């Protein structure tokens, strides 16, 4: 009986989760020659990456995998897809073209928090 009680007590006990160790971010050692130049180059690179991120958030290029009325999906890369939402007034170039499945398109608009794109202009590549 005591053995059965001990077994259920140990079976119900949970061990606390281990806290992860903080990641040490590398930095320049003190008195590094050209440290100011290196920091400036890193700052410029970060600005360029941020500008590219913003540009990519508002544009998409790929082939149409789904299109129906106001919803479209395009394949932007290997196993990468993006949802596109059209609205009344979305401009499709060339005028009168319909972006069918398989068509290559370039989409400009406003990036949404969920990663989709609210399309203002769609250009069907010929």
C-alpha pair distances (Å), 51 with each of 11, 24, 86, 93, 96:
54, 27, 25, 26, 33
The whole-chain average pLDDT of the chain stands at: 82
Q: Give the mean pLDDT of 48-60.
A: 78
pLDDT at 19 over 90: no
- Which stretch of 31-40, 48-57, 64-73, 79-88 has the lowest confidence by average pLDDT? 48-57
Reported as a single tens digit per residue, the pLDDT across 55-80 is 677 889 999 999 998 999 999 988 99
Mention the CATH class of domain 59-124. mainly beta
Domain residue spans of the chain: 59-124
Higher per-residue confidence, 76 vs 13 = 76
Please report which confidence band the pLDDT of residue 11 belongs to, taking 50, 70 and 90 as the band edges.
Answer: low
């Amino acid at each position: 009986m005591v053995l059965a009680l001990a077994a259920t007590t140990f079976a119900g006990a949970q061990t606390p989760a281990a806290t992860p160790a903080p990641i040490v971010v590398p930095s320049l050692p003190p008195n590094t020659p050209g440290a100011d130049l290196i920091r400036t180059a890193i700052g410029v690179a970060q600005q360029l990456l941020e500008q590219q991120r913003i540009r990519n958030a508002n544009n998409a290029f790929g082939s149409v995998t789904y299109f129906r009325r106001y919803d479209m999906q395009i394949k932007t890369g290997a196993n990468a897809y993006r949802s596109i939402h059209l609205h009344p007034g979305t401009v499709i170039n060339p005028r009168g073209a319909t972006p069918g499945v398989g068509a290559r398109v370039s989409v400009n608009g406003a990036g949404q928090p969920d990663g989709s794109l609210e399309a203002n202009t769609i250009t069907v590549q010929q």
